[in-house]
């Protein structure tokens, strides 16, 4: 499937030509825009203008400026998104704010097997607040009912499951939770930039996400936080000077800024934000609807190819075949998944491995093509058939898998 606006943007990805990159769900590639913004921020702004750049180049407003670039990608209004800190830290702030807003209840309900940081953060907040003010309950989202949420202050869950690539029904689950009297915080790590999102029309309370995956902001790029306008009166649990109403008045008393700025704490990385600002420029030239169409056609083609392959007899598809339940990566479970993943990488097919036996193939509609689905599947077939993955060098695990 081709789309002229996406075709135009593809050439701006500075990808190595000898590799098939299927790991944009972990780290998006460098773009010429991110690179140019970084060079400008370092050599001109920092190098020549030094401290004056905070005003001259709008560094001080970058978290809001970049937040406003993210807003249309996730279906949010301007002023409701801020780009700062990490997803984990932003989740802490969002959960704390939700507990303050819904203060007749004390329970955080989390999805049992979601990305671990989300549940560590919820438990950490509960420990800090004390058992009388906050408790965490883990639940199976696929079986969620209104009864499960009858005493829940806030439900925290992932839009796309990091292991299986399953996409959740955001409007449906948000409505179910709110009818049961709970607020909802969505983790958009694996959906921002590849799935059409409409946070405002789904009446989402809070959402958090990262910019280093499908938004291509760079390794360790800051996260983002969305808060519905009416929730921007809640307190930031880590109130710092950058969230103050008058930052440079240096007042002894904390007074939160109006609006989303109150969710800032301290000084943000201007260099990192500059790369994100550059990377997001590409999204001004394409529509998320078109990206979603291309993403679905890539994952559909990959799944269809897997079904025709002998591999379907020796691996399991963890990702739903139904388009409406699939994000932008496809996960296969198979024996010896780790050494197989290493052999794939050695062959130039860049994917990742997740415990206990999963290989994830991430399809980024901005730069992946149908040829990539074919190359990845043929490489996997050849590696499994030849048992090349049994070589000792493929058994060694590094810290990052
Ligand atoms: C679903 C999900 N949530 C949270 C995170 C962690 O976010 P961060 O390390 O940016 O805080 C990740 C990282 O990959 C993730 O996949």
On the question of pLDDT at 173 being above 80, the answer is yes
My answer on whether 87 and 195 are in the same domain is yes
388 alpha carbon – ligand 1 mean position (Å)? 32
Split at pLDDT 50, 70, 90, the class of 401 is confident
Please report the pLDDT score of residue 222 as a whole number.
Answer: 98
222 alpha carbon – ligand 1 mean position (Å)? 11
Q: Which of 226, 360, 361, 389 is catalytic?
A: 360
Distance CA 236, CA 263 (A): 5
Q: Which of 115, 300, 323, 336 is catalytic?
A: 115
Give the pLDDT mean for 388-400: 92
Q: For tokens 């020549």, what's the residue?
A: 48
360 assigned to active site: yes
My answer on whether 305 and 270 are in the same domain is no
116 alpha carbon – ligand 1 mean position (Å)? 8
My answer on whether 218 and 339 are in the same domain is no
Distance CA 350, CA 30 (A): 15
On the question of pLDDT at 371 being above 90, the answer is yes
My answer on whether 296 and 244 are in the same domain is no
Q: Which of 168, 213, 305, 354 is catalytic?
A: 213
Distance CA 321, CA 331 (A): 11
Distance CA 242, CA 270 (A): 14
My answer on whether 258 and 292 are in the same domain is no
Distance CA 355, CA 304 (A): 25
Q: Which atom of ligand 1 lies at the shortest distance from residue 91's CA?
A: 11
Q: Which of 187, 205, 347, 352 is catalytic?
A: 187
My answer on whether 76 and 168 are in the same domain is yes
Q: For tokens 């079986």, what's the residue?
A: 143
On the question of pLDDT at 289 being above 80, the answer is yes
Q: Considering 257, 284, 311, which residue would you say is the last residue of a domain?
A: 284
Please report the pLDDT score of residue 196 as a whole number.
Answer: 97
My answer on whether 215 and 249 are in the same domain is yes
Q: Give the dihedral of Cα atoms 113, 115, 119, 122; nearest 10 deg.
A: -140
Please report the pLDDT score of residue 36 as a whole number.
Answer: 98
399: in domain: no
Give the pLDDT mean for 136-165: 96
Residue ranges lining ligand 1, Cβ < 6 Å: 86-88, 115, 117-118, 158, 162, 187, 189-190, 210, 223
Distance, C-alpha 214 to centroid of its chain: 7
Q: Which structural domain, as residue segments, surrounds residue 124? A: 33-284
On the question of pLDDT at 1 being above 90, the answer is no
Give the pLDDT mean for 47-56: 98
Please report the pLDDT score of residue 4 as a whole number.
Answer: 86
Q: Residue 344 sits in a domain of what CATH number?
A: 3.90.1150.10
CB 373 within 8 A of CB 305: yes
At a CB cut-off of 8 Å and minimum separation 6, what does 212 contact? 27, 28, 218, 219, 220, 221
192 alpha carbon – ligand 1 mean position (Å)? 12
160: in domain: yes
Mode of pairing for the β-strands spanning 152-158 and 107-111: parallel
Please report the pLDDT score of residue 64 as a whole number.
Answer: 98
On the question of pLDDT at 310 being above 80, the answer is yes
169 assigned to active site: no
Share of the chain above pLDDT 90, in %: 97
367 assigned to active site: no
What pTM was estimated for this model as a whole? 0.97
238: in domain: yes
My answer on whether 262 and 336 are in the same domain is no
**Cα dist. 135→99, 119, 131, 238, 379 in Å?**
11, 12, 6, 20, 47
On the question of pLDDT at 3 being above 90, the answer is no
Q: Considering 284, 317, 339, which residue would you say is the last residue of a domain?
A: 284
Burial of 139 (0-12, 13-18, 19+ CB in 10 A): middle
Q: Which atom of ligand 1 lies at the shortest distance from residue 161's CA?
A: 1
Q: Is 18 helix (H, G, I), strand (E, B) or coil?
A: coil
Instruction: Find the angle CA(348)-CA(354)-CA(357) to the nearest 5 degrees.
Output: 95
Structure tokens at 156: 């925290």
Picking from 91, 101, 163, the residue whose alpha carbon sits closest to that of residue 121 is 91
My answer on whether 229 and 341 are in the same domain is no
* Helix ranges restricted to H, 61-220: 62-70, 87-101, 116-129, 170-179
Give the pLDDT mean for 369-396: 96
Q: Considering 228, 253, 284, which residue would you say is the last residue of a domain?
A: 284
Please report the pLDDT score of residue 98 as a whole number.
Answer: 98
Q: For tokens 């202050």, what's the residue?
A: 153
Distance CA 101, CA 233 (A): 9
Give the pLDDT mean for 252-276: 98
Please report the pLDDT score of residue 277 as a whole number.
Answer: 98
Q: For tokens 């921020």, what's the residue?
A: 41
Q: Which of 206, 212, 283, 394 is catalytic?
A: 212
401: in domain: no
Q: Residue 171 sits in a domain of what CATH number?
A: 3.40.640.10
Give the pLDDT mean for 80-103: 98
Tell me the per-residue pLDDT of 324-365, one tens digit each, with 9 for 90 and over: 999 999 999 999 999 999 999 999 999 999 999 999 999 999
76: in domain: yes
Distance CA 222, CA 212 (A): 8
What does the mean pLDDT of the chain come to?
97
Distance CA 163, CA 258 (A): 38
213 assigned to active site: yes
Q: Is 59 helix (H, G, I), strand (E, B) or coil?
A: helix
326 alpha carbon – ligand 1 mean position (Å)? 19
Give the pLDDT mean for 300-308: 98
My answer on whether 294 and 196 are in the same domain is no
Tell me the per-residue pLDDT of 184-219, one tens digit each, with 9 for 90 and over: 999 999 999 999 999 999 999 999 999 999 999 999
400: in domain: no
Q: What is the count of structural domains for the chain?
A: 2
215 alpha carbon – ligand 1 mean position (Å)? 13
Split at pLDDT 50, 70, 90, the class of 293 is very high
Please report the pLDDT score of residue 249 as a whole number.
Answer: 97
Closest C-alpha residue for ligand 1 atom 8: 87
Strand arrangement of the beta sheet that strand 223-227 belongs to: 81-84, 223-227, 206-210, 183-187, 152-158, 107-111, 135-139
My answer on whether 255 and 381 are in the same domain is no
My answer on whether 53 and 91 are in the same domain is yes
């Amino acid at each position: 499937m081709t789309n002229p606006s996406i075709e135009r943007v593809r050439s701006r990805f500075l990808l190595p030509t000898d590799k098939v990159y299927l790991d944009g769900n972990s780290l998006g590639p460098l773009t010429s825009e991110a690179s140019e913004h970084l060079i400008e921020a370092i050599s001109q702004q920092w190098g020549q203008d030094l401290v004056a750049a905070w005003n001259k180049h709008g560094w001080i407003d970058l978290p809001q400026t970049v937040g406003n670039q993210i807003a249309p990608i996730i279906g949010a209004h301007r002023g409701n998104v801020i780009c700062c800190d990490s997803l984990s830290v932003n989740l802490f702030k969002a959960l704390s704010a939700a507990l303050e807003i819904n203060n007749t209840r004390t329970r955080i309900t989390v999805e049992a097997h979601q990305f671990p940081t989300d549940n560590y953060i919820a438990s950490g907040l509960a420990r800090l607040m004390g058992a009388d003010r906050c408790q965490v309950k883990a639940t199976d989202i696929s079986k969620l009912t209104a009864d499960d949420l009858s005493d829940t202050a806030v439900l925290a869950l992932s839009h796309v499951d990091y292991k299986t690539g399953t996409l959740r029904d955001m409007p449906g689950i948000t409505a179910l939770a709110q009818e049961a009297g709970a607020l909802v915080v969505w983790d958009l790590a694996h959906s921002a930039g590849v799935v059409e999102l409409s946070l405002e029309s789904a009446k989402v309370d809070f959402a958090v996400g990262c910019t280093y995956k499908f938004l291509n902001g760079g390794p360790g790029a800051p996260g983002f936080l969305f808060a519905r306008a009416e929730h921007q009166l809640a307190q930031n649990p880590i109130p710092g000077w950058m969230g103050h109403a008058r930052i440079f008045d240096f007042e002894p008393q904390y007074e939160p800024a109006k609006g989303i700025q109150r969710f800032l704490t301290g000084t943000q990385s201007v260099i990192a934000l500059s790369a994100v600002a550059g990377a997001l420029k590409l999204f001004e030239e394409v529509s998320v609807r078109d990206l979603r169409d291309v993403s679905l056609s890539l994952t559909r083609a990959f799944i269809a190819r897997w079904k025709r392959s002998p591999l379907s007899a020796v691996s399991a598809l963890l990702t739903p075949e139904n388009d409406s339940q699939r994000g932008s990566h496809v996960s296969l479970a198979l024996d010896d998944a780790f050494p197989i993943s290493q052999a794939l990488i050695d062959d130039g097919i860049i994917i990742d491995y997740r415990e206990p036996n999963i290989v994830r193939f991430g399809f980024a509609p901005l730069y992946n093509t149908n040829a990539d689905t074919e190359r990845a599947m043929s490489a996997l077939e050849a590696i499994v058939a030849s048992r090349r993955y049994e070589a000792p060098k493929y058994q060694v695990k590094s810290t990052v898998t």
